[in-house]
Amino acid sequence: MFDACVQCKIGSEDLKRLNIRAGSGVVMDDLKFGSDKIVFFSPKNADLLRESVDKGLPYGIINAELIHRSDSPHYARAGIDDTIARIMAKKKIATVFNLKLLIMNNGASRGRIIRRMKENMKRAVKYGAPVLFASCADNKYELFSGVQIKTWAYYLGIDNFKRVKTSFDKIFKNN
């Protein structure tokens, strides 16, 4: 079984067929949310990302790959830099990878997102931050199976899948 957080309602037979355990979280793009829900923050810019991480508000940061419109000619601007990654690891805020971005984008933009995801994964592993994968599927046909999620996780640079299971259990079992 592979762990993933999803947004749509999924029946137990679909979960067994896809070989995933699913938890449900809310994606917000502003800092006006209560602490009674599992919230993944999708920042619009780097300042909001830094502010949310400093306050320790969200359970995870999602869509960090979309913060910057263009890359530097010398490196990929992934959204999560070393300073933010260090704070996220200290406050146990998860780096959440939205796999729906891979379905919705094509061509050069998909390649840019994959490169940015790899950079964010590198920083999460370097500082020991929790890691989660989210399908963010609106219906069951957009879901990734456990094998597909595991393949993307391996490609992005995670080889210790216990880290993902531990992160999933800490976030979704306590609520």
Each residue of 70-86: pLDDT tens digit?
A: 655 555 666 788 899 99
- What is the secondary structure of 49-61 as a DSSP string? HHHHHHHT--SEE
Using DSSP bridges, classify how beta strands 94-98 and 131-134 pair: parallel, antiparallel or unpaired: parallel
Q: Which CATH architecture has domain 2-172?
A: Alpha-Beta Barrel (3.20)
Can you give the pTM of this predicted structure? 0.77
Q: What is the pLDDT of residues 59-70, one digit of tens each?
A: 888 888 888 666
Q: Look at residue 94 and give its three-state secondary structure.
A: strand
Domain ranges within the chain, ordered by starting residue: 2-172
> Does residue 23 have a pLDDT over 60?
yes
Query: Averaged over 140-146, what is the pLDDT?
Result: 73
Which structure tokens are listed for 22?
Answer: 């699913």
Q: Across-strand partners of 39?
A: 26
pLDDT score at 2: 46
CB 60 within 8 A of CB 93: yes
Please give the Cα distance from 98 to 156 (Å, whole number). 12
